[in-house]
A and B are shown apart, each in its own frame.
Chain A
Amino acid sequence: MAQAANGTLYRGREGMWSWVAHRISGVLLFLFLFAHVLDTALVRVSPQAYNEVMDAYKNPVVGLGEAGLVAAVIFHALNGLRIIAVDFWAKGPRYQRQMFWAVAVGFVVLFVPFAIRHLSIVFSH
């Protein structure tokens, strides 16, 4: 176990922070999946039970949460590709920092159109 008394291997910058963000987004997605499977299981209870819960979700607060969820998915997916490239591409470790910024650009390209589309639905109903 890494402890302060042993010194530290944490080096900061793109490499460490993308790892931290990958962990946090991964744990959040795992917790969401648990709730998502349980609420979807309500279709097996009755149409009314499921629709009641879906209606309760249709408000701006949950809508913003959904945008955050999709942000976590996009980052985790793109950074996952970066990790695979670091592991399997001979030059991956050398370019990990550049690939982090490619992930950041890809994130903006995918997330901004989604956020416009999703939030305009959320705030217009």
Chain B
Amino acid sequence: MTATSSETPRVDAVPVKHSRYRRVGASRGNFELWSWVFMRGSGILLLVLVFGHLFVNLMLGEGIHAVDFAFVGQKWSSPFWQVWDLLMLWLAELHGVNGVRTVINDYTEKNSTRWVLKALLFTSALLVMVLGTLVIFTFDPCIDPSSTLSVCSR
């Protein structure tokens, strides 16, 4: 990279040397680029996954009134909904973590505050993803003795 002299014209809307915003921490590789790409890609997928989730759970049948253990058991006895919900869980949590990370970066002024908030953020995300994944795949719809699901009768 060639050294830029202060006479080099810049294309910024506000030339850096005239800006009173401090711009710091320029070198983080391509991470921020990929995070930007991820937000758009996961956003499109989540639009389909979440709208489908809301339509099936809140609009069809008895709507929210039908949601109980048997309803969840019915859905998660199908690999289709297990995969759907797993994808939705991971994409939504990562999309949300990345969004809240941006919000924290924007509004915290002290390094210590930023560090603590991000530690809480990443810990909660890990908890949600691990717990959610375990629940989807270790769930047994037949622990309900009164279950009328066909997978539970033999």
Number of A interface residues at 8 Å Cβ cutoff, please give it: 40
- Residues in chain A near residue B68, CB distance under 8 A: 50-51, 54
Give complex CA distance A58, B89 in Å.
Answer: 24
List the A residue with the shortest CB-CB distance to B43: A80
- Residues in chain A near residue B143, CB distance under 8 A: 46-47
Number of B interface residues at 8 Å Cβ cutoff, please give it: 42
List the B residue with the shortest CB-CB distance to A81: B47
> Are A40 and B99 closer than 8 Å at their CB atoms?
no
Q: Please tell me if A37 contacts chain B, counting CB pairs below 8 Å.
A: yes
- Residues in chain A near residue B65, CB distance under 8 A: 58, 121, 125
Q: What 1/0 flags go to B60-90 for Cβ under 8 Å of A?
A: 0011110111001100000000000000010
Give complex CA distance A56, B135 in Å.
Answer: 21
- Residues in chain B near residue A21, CB distance under 8 A: none
- Residues in chain B near residue A23, CB distance under 8 A: 99, 103
Q: Please tell me if A27 contacts chain B, counting CB pairs below 8 Å.
A: yes
Q: What 1/0 flags go to A19-58 for Cβ under 8 Å of B?
A: 0000100110110011001101101101100110010001
Listed from nearest, the 5 A-B pairs whose CB atoms lie closest are: A30-B96, A47-B69, A47-B144, A121-B63, A6-B20
